[in-house]
Chains A and B, each alone.
Chain A
Amino acid sequence: SQQGEEDPQALSIQEGENATMNCSYKTSINNLQWYRQNSGRGLVHLILIRSNEREKHSGRLRVTLDTSKKSSSLLITASRAADTASYFCATDPPGGDSNYQLIWGAGTKLIIKP
């Protein structure tokens, strides 16, 4: 079943602008992960943020997590054409056992216009 829901479904911006994508989820989590998928490099892990963290940075990426609102956002600053891709959030709900099945959203399709 789908836990994460990305918003918007699609986003088109000019190169150099910032892009913000949101993810909402339904149950409590151990961590939340963001992935990028494009035709050239397939699915690539971007950032993992744990439930006790509020913000995390990696290069031009900034992820925030608000567990009270069950939501996360991914900000890409100074976007580039190479950022054109689909972005997925995946949540790892606490299971109390060894099963760490990630629950994936349907993704946000980001297009960077030159």
Chain B
Amino acid sequence: EAGVAQSPRYKIIEKRQSVAFWCNPISGHATLYWYQQILGQGPKLLIQFQNNGVVDDSQLPKDRFSAERLKGVDSTLKIQPAKLEDSAVYLCASSQDSGYEQYFGPGTRLTVT
């Protein structure tokens, strides 16, 4: 079974620039998550989709972050404009349904200079 795919793996941008991350979940998984993980901390949920609808985006900084899930499959997360504090690893995960174990992609390491 193919795992969760993410791209790019690494990205370096200057502050105030924009960046987009892509995620392809495991086939058939209804729930998709985007997390932000700062070095030395646990993952922080940014947004959770159930099929193509948003279940929880309470911790998404909506003035600069946006996300969408196309046709209930792939998803993109965008940051515009980026700030220095956005430097982190962005993880995408999917699960069969809410409340089940989550499968994570390799993550995108973002450095904002």
Contact = CB atoms under 8 A, between A and B. Distances in A.
B41 A106 contact: yes
B101 A99 contact: no
Contacts of B31: 100
Contacts of A90: 42
B49 to A, nearest CB: 11
A2 B42 contact: yes
Contacts of B40: 106
A88 B102 CA distance: 13
A56 interface: no
Nearest to B55: A99
Interface in A83-114: 88, 90, 92, 98-102, 104-107
Given A45-B102, A98-B98, A105 B42 contact: yes
B43 A45 contact: no
A104 B43 contact: yes
A100 B93 CA distance: 14
Interface of A: 2, 4, 30-31, 33, 42-45, 48, 88, 90, 92, 98-102, 104-107
B91 A43 contact: yes
A42 B42 contact: no
A105 B44 CA distance: 10
B80 interface: no
B13 interface: no
Contacts of A4: 42
A4 B43 CA distance: 12
Contact of B42 (A30, A45, A106): A106
A100 B105 contact: no
Nearest to B45: A101
Interface in B86-109: 91, 93, 98-107
